[in-house]
Structure formats: C-alpha cells, structure tokens
Structure 1
Amino acid sequence: MEDAVVLAARCAAPAAGEPYLLTPGPLTTARSTKEAMLRDWGSWDAEFREMTAQLRRALLDIAGDVAGDYDCVPLQGSGSYCVEAMLGSLVPRDGHALVLANGAYGKRIATTLRYLGRRHTVLDKGDYLPPRGSEVERMLAVDHTITHVVVVHCETSSGILNPIGEIAAATAKHGRKLLIDSMSAFGAVPLDVREIRCEAFVSSANKCIEGVPGFGFVIARRDALRDAKGRSHSLSLDLHDQWDAMNRTGQWRFTPPTHAVAAFIEALRLHALEGGPRGRLARYARNRDVLVSEMQALGFEPLLGERWRSPVIVTFFAPAHPAFRFERFYALMKEQGFIIYPGKLTVVDSFRIGCIGQVDASVMQRVAKACAHALGAMGVDCAAPSDAALRERGALAAMA
C-alpha cells in the first residue's frame, strides 16, 4: 500500500500548464494513463480484442461477481448513453419504474424514461435528502405494478451518497428489480453484487477508475441481458445486441474508443496497485475531510451533513457577501490551476469541488489556499452563507 501512496503522489501533479480538474469526471488522470493513448490500435486486431476482454473481466472482479451471474457490457459514449441503454434494454415496454430522485441525475433518469415511453413514478426528495429504504418499501407495498426501482448511487449535483444497501434490501423484499446509476461511485464506494442485490448498474471510464472519457459500461445479470433481446428502442444502445456480439466475436459492434480503452487498462492497473476500491476510497475520503476542514476554516459551509456527504464531490454554499460572484471566483481559481464546478441546486446558490482523480490531501490544502486568495481578490472578507440557507439546511437535516 505504501508503494501505491508514493505512486499517487508522483502522478498527482498534472503536466506543466494543465489545471487540476476538481470535477466528478472528467478528472485529473495519471501521466501513465495519458501516455497509454500514444499508440494506435486496430479495432479488429486480436490484441485489442484481448484488451476489451481484460477490462470486462477486471470490472466484474471489482463488482465481486465470483459466481459468474453477471456480465460486463462496455458501450461507446458518455455515461448518460449507458444509463439510457440500461433503461431501454432492461425495463420492459410494459414495465413501471419507481425513480428515486434527489438531484439532477435522478431527474434525468425520469426524463429518459419519458422519452422511452416507459411508465414511471418519481419519488423526489429535493436537493438535501436521501431516499430511504422504508419509503421504498411503503411505495412498493402499495403499488404492485412497479417492476423496477432506479436510483443514483452518488448524486453529484449535491454530493449526497444515497443508502444503496437499504434501498436494495427493500426492493428485494418485495420481489422487484433494482437498477443503479453508479456513475460517479463505482470503483471507490463499495458496490459488491454479493451484498447489493441488483439487476444491473452502470458506470463510466472517466470516474473513480480514473480513465478518460469515451465509454461507459453496464454490469448486469446474464439472465436480464438474455431477456432483453428485441426490447431496445435503439440499435446503438441495444445492450443485448452489444453483449451478444462481444461474446461471439470479442469485438465492439461499431468503432470502439480504442485510445480510451488503452488508457482504461492502465487506469485499472493503477487502481489495483492502490488497493482497489478500498484503497481508492481511503484516499478520496481523506481528500474530502481535508477539503471540508480547510474550507470551514475560511468560513465556507458544506451543503450536507457528515452522514450523507460523499467522498466524490462536496457542494458548498456560496458566500452571502455581496461582492461574491461565482463567475469571477471560478476565473480566479482557474488562474491558480484549479477547475471547479458550478452549483446544480434549485434552491440555493452553491458551487462544487471534486475529491476524485489523481489528487491527494496536499492538493486539497492548496485548493483551500487558492479559495482564500480568490476571496481576497474579490474583496470578500466573509465566506459564510446566508442565515436562510443555514436554517433550511438545519430543518431538512432534522428530517433525514
């Protein structure tokens, strides 16, 4: 593990002139991951087909599929492509999905189902609160037409980490099927199919595995993939067809993101060297804790209490000071080598700082110092949020 820590520290500095990407993906990648993309690969070549098979095996290992009940289906495109592929292929056209939403990505799932013409019901918890297993259980007990429950593992619009374990237990108790958007969590936050009963989950190359954008993947039960034949609304997003073609030929149906796959193979090597999900979670959690501590020392306040705060990204209230403007704050942070995220909340002004990628606690300390410098340049002498924002957080936290 010590070698992994040294490796992470050595790889953490981006190339000269490159900023740190403090986002939930794309993110700052290791230099060796970038260098893996310097070679061209033939998409039909046996060597590339073996790379595809290698990444599929590695991801199933990370997911804990020792029984061979699941398979991994990589798919070209962004994470949202994979979410749509999962929904369009695994939710029958006469199915009924219960969508657990507490942010932008849960709402995007509902929008996708609407485009697909799939019946769905939304449990919307707002920006602050997680959906709970007890709520799911009550809704499933009342509505027997619901066939699937869909949930976002880590809702990065707020940074909230949803209680997947209790949601999975409630879903299984009532004999329904669970679909998980684990886009920004898998690879660090535990998601072991031996413990979390789910029909399928999706993630992306450029998140906690620390690869680059270009493809995502669906890990689904083999029987679910078999049942999906002929169900998809789209040729490109047909999971069954992609799965069948890969298993028969070892090839992607259409032009694969060869360089992104090569980078991902290297990212998987580094992931294993760091200790797999456990080692990566430890670093990300340390990043989060140092960031929050340093930012609170400046007067900033995180949106979420410690209980629901993920190790992926932290949302902070915008300062109430009249001189604070996020656009200026963003520019000043970029000048110092840090790309941060605007807020994505509907109720209060906020901004977000990611904790994942090739960054460590020392980088988080530098981020806080850059924030202090930016505030000084703006003439903001107090980073505290408005009293109204804090009161609303307190009231909603009590409900959780």
Structure 2
Amino acid sequence: MQPILPTPLLLLTPGPLTTSDATRAALARDWGSRETDFIAMSEGVRARLVALAGVADTHVAVPLPGSGTHAVEAVVQTLVPRDGKLLVLVNGAYGHRMVAMARRLGRQVALLEAPEDQPIAPAAVAAALSADPAVTDVALVHCETTSGLLNPLEAVAAVVQAANRRFIIDAMSSFGAIPIDGAALQFSALVGSANKGLEGVPGLSYAIAEKTHLAASAGNASSVSLDLHDQWRGFESNRQWRFTPPVQVVAALAAALDQLAAEGGIAARHARYSRNCDVLLDGMQALGFVLFLPRALQAPVITTWHIPPGGWFQFDQFYEFLHQRGVIIYPGKLTAQPSFRIGCIGAIGPDDLARAMAEIGAFVRAYDPARSAA
C-alpha cells in the first residue's frame, strides 16, 4: 500500500511542478481534437506564446506533443539545414544532449564548452565563429538546469547576430520564469515546455520560430512526427494538429496562461520566483549546505548543492525523509561532483519554501552529528 502523503505536495524540481487548483481543474474536461472550441483554444495558446516572447510580428508558435526534448530535437532537425553546421554552447548536461541530437541526426556539429560553474563567454563565441565560417547556427541553453546557471543570453545573441549566424535558444527552464525581450534579440527559434515557468502540466512543448526561416526549412527534417515545418503548415492550413494532440494538456496550459496574465506577467512571476529563491538560499546556507554556483550566477529556477562532507548525509535517506513529508526534490546532474538539486518555481510562494526549509532543518538536526549534539 502506498503511504498517504501530506498535501499539497511541494514539487521542488525543474518540472513537473506544483500546479494550481485552477490548472488541475482544467484537466477534468474532455475535448474533441477536431471540435471548434478546442481549435480556437489551441490558436489562442499559440498567439499568447509569441506575445509573451515579444515577437508576434516575426515569429510563430508551433506546439508539439511531448517533453521539451521533443521540441529541441524538432528544432535541430528542421531549422538546421542538412548541409549546415551547428555550434552548441555547452556548460551542462542539456547542452551535451543537444550535441548528441545533432550528431544522431547527421548534422555537422561543433561545441564550445565551459565548466559547469561558469557562464558561456561571449568573446569565446565570437572567436569560435570567426574561426569556423562553416557554422550556420548557434544554440545556447539559457538556464542550464544541470546547475541552475543563467547564461548571458543578450550578450551571446548580439555576438551571433554580428557574425550573421542563426540563433537557437533552449529556454526550457527560463521562459515564463525570467523576462526575455524577444524584440531586442534576433533568434531563429526559442524552445520551451508547458510544465516549467508557465506552470502548466507535462506533455506539451513548443518552438517559437522565425516565420521566414521556418518557411524555408521544408524537407530538412528526417522525422515525420518531429517535422516542425510540416506541423506549422498544418496549423496554417486548417488550424489543427497533424496528429492526436494532448487535449487536456493544452487546456491546462490555457488556464495557466490566464493565471500568468492575472499575476502580472513574466516580470511579476520572476519577482515571486526570486523571493522563493532567496528563502531557499538563505535557509540552506544557514543549515550549512554549500551552493554549487556563486550566488550572482544563480537563476531563480533550480539550485544545486554539494553533498555535505563527513559521511553523515545520504541522499536517498534525505530524499525519503522529505518525501514522507510531502516535499519532493531532485538528485544532482553534475558530471564532476556529487550533488542534489532543489527548485523554487511552480505555483508556490515563499511560505512554501519556508515549509521546505523547516523539514530540511529537521533532517539535519536528526542526522548531522554536529547539529544533533548541539
């Protein structure tokens, strides 16, 4: 028998996240994928996504069923020409995943790598582009959720634009959580997911793609279901998804977008997440945990913590202690150092983070000999 856990659960992860009652309620209704109400709702979601990015005149939103990884792979194979070359800027696992995708898809690929605790240096990007004229496209993970590091999006975008290359932004963890001024950036695609900063549920990802480049990308994709161009043409021709859409997930995202607008937009959500992050950082550091990143590089999305020394801390024990109290965290994803991760986004506020800190404090007092003896 499964234990009865406290409610509501605090999903302090990079996604899926704790969702609101209104978002969960939107999942309760059935929709026909070809009915006019659902088609209108899909179109409304698409329009609101490009409006949030500030690029409604130049770009179009193309949603896809599946996780964010599905949309990233769709963008790579559709928007990077078969004879093109992709430069991936890597300082974590998700950049490496994009390199693996490009190689599997048969694209020429190069990588410019920085350590996991250091942002991508725009000057290094400029030098790499100057040294390799074959590069046609550049990809950056804006918030690398391996560590929680926020890369310098605007500065990198300016370098890529000056070099006359196309720019792909993996904004999976940042879009909706951190303001992105799309009107001030030049990008061929921005990729996101419903179940992160927008506070929807898993099962839908999207690319906000430049119309001109998307129109010229016919035939690039080697996959039928992940052909972003063909899905866009389908929406343009009859406003419908080519294959069965995740209808309830679309409805939940529509409800989540309503709530984002009511909250005051992305700037207001970023402010809430920043308050959450402050409570988390202050609380964890007061308990003796050491943050992986310098605080100045930490995005208010997910945080990475070193495993404490001394042998008293066992992650599985820590996870289960919190799990039994309704707080869900994540194992680490760093390649070099043992770690764990705690997120601060979703339909939660500073009081929820304070609750989590109280539970983590109880664990420390129970298991850390230095604290339990004090």
Sort the TM-score into its range (normalised by shorter chain): over 0.9
- Structure 1 equivalent of residue 106 of structure 2: 117
Provide the rounded CA distance (Å) in 2 between the counterparts of 1:170 and 1:337: 45
Provide the rounded CA distance (Å) in 2 between the counterparts of 1:323 and 1:58: 49
Relative to 1, partners in 2 of residues 1:373 and 1:50: Cα closer, same or farther, differing over 3 Å?
same
- Structure 2 equivalent of residue 133 of structure 1: 122
Relative to 1, partners in 2 of residues 1:380 and 1:121: Cα closer, same or farther, differing over 3 Å?
farther
Instruction: List alignment gaps of at least 5 residues for structure 1.
Output: 1-14, 384-400
Question: After the TM superposition, which residues 82-97 of structure 1 pair with which residues of structure 2 at under 5 Å, given as runs?
Answer: 82-97=71-86
The number of equivalent residue pairs is 368
- Structure 2 equivalent of residue 4 of structure 1: none
Q: Which of the numbers 195, 205, 213 marks the counterpart of 1:206?
A: 195
Relative to 1, partners in 2 of residues 1:380 and 1:119: Cα closer, same or farther, differing over 3 Å?
farther
- Alignment of 1:27 with 2:4, yes or no, is no
- Structure 2 equivalent of residue 362 of structure 1: 351
- Structure 2 equivalent of residue 101 of structure 1: 90
Displacement after TM superposition at 1:187 (Å): 1.0
Displacement after TM superposition at 1:374 (Å): 1.3
Deviations 1:113-148 (A, max 9, x none): 111011111112121111111110011111111111
Provide the rounded CA distance (Å) in 2 between the counterparts of 1:335 and 1:321: 25
Match of 1:213, SS state, is: coil
* Amino acid aligned to 1:200: A
Question: After the TM superposition, which residues 1-16 of structure 1 pair with which residues of structure 2 at under 5 Å, given as runs?
Answer: none
- Structure 1 equivalent of residue 259 of structure 2: 270
TM-score of the two chains, using structure 1 as the length reference: 0.90
- Structure 2 equivalent of residue 45 of structure 1: 35
Provide the rounded CA distance (Å) in 2 between the counterparts of 1:278 and 1:156: 20
Instruction: List alignment gaps of at least 5 residues for structure 2.
Output: none
Question: After the TM superposition, which residues 343-382 of structure 1 pair with which residues of structure 2 at under 5 Å, given as runs?
Answer: 343-381=332-370
Displacement after TM superposition at 1:382 (Å): 5.9
Provide the rounded CA distance (Å) in 2 between the counterparts of 1:382 and 1:198: 50
Provide the rounded CA distance (Å) in 2 between the counterparts of 1:252 and 1:160: 35
Q: Percent identity among equivalent residues? A: 44
Match of 2:43, SS state, is: helix
* Amino acid aligned to 2:31: W
Provide the rounded CA distance (Å) in 2 between the counterparts of 1:53 and 1:331: 42
Match of 1:314, SS state, is: strand
Kept in 2: contact 1:33–1:264 (CA 8 A): yes
Kept in 1: contact 2:27–2:249 (CA 8 A): yes
- Structure 2 equivalent of residue 230 of structure 1: 219
* Amino acid aligned to 2:113: D
Deviations 1:69-125 (A, max 9, x none): 100000111100000000000001111111101111000000101110111111121
Displacement after TM superposition at 1:265 (Å): 0.6
Displacement after TM superposition at 1:380 (Å): 4.4
- Structure 2 equivalent of residue 387 of structure 1: none
Q: Which of the numbers 43, 58, 69 marks the counterpart of 1:69?
A: 58
Provide the rounded CA distance (Å) in 2 between the counterparts of 1:179 and 1:172: 12
Kept in 2: contact 1:375–1:381 (CA 8 A): no
- Alignment of 1:340 with 2:329, yes or no, is yes
Match of 2:191, SS state, is: strand
Provide the rounded CA distance (Å) in 1 between the counterparts of 2:267 and 2:369: 39
- Structure 1 equivalent of residue 133 of structure 2: 144
- Structure 2 equivalent of residue 194 of structure 1: 183
- Structure 2 equivalent of residue 389 of structure 1: none
Provide the rounded CA distance (Å) in 2 between the counterparts of 1:196 and 1:327: 43
Q: Which moved more, 1:85-94 or 1:370-379?
A: 370-379
Provide the rounded CA distance (Å) in 2 between the counterparts of 1:382 and 1:108: 40
Kept in 2: contact 1:321–1:382 (CA 8 A): no
TM-score of the two chains, using structure 2 as the length reference: 0.96
- Structure 1 equivalent of residue 69 of structure 2: 80
Displacement after TM superposition at 1:299 (Å): 0.8
Relative to 1, partners in 2 of residues 1:169 and 1:380: Cα closer, same or farther, differing over 3 Å?
farther
* Amino acid aligned to 2:41: M
Question: After the TM superposition, which residues 289-300 of structure 1 pair with which residues of structure 2 at under 5 Å, given as runs?
Answer: 289-300=278-289
Displacement after TM superposition at 1:192 (Å): 2.2
Displacement after TM superposition at 1:321 (Å): 2.3
Provide the rounded CA distance (Å) in 1 between the counterparts of 2:371 and 2:61: 49
Displacement after TM superposition at 1:306 (Å): 2.0
- Alignment of 1:55 with 2:45, yes or no, is yes
- Structure 2 equivalent of residue 331 of structure 1: 320
Provide the rounded CA distance (Å) in 1 between the counterparts of 2:190 and 2:37: 28
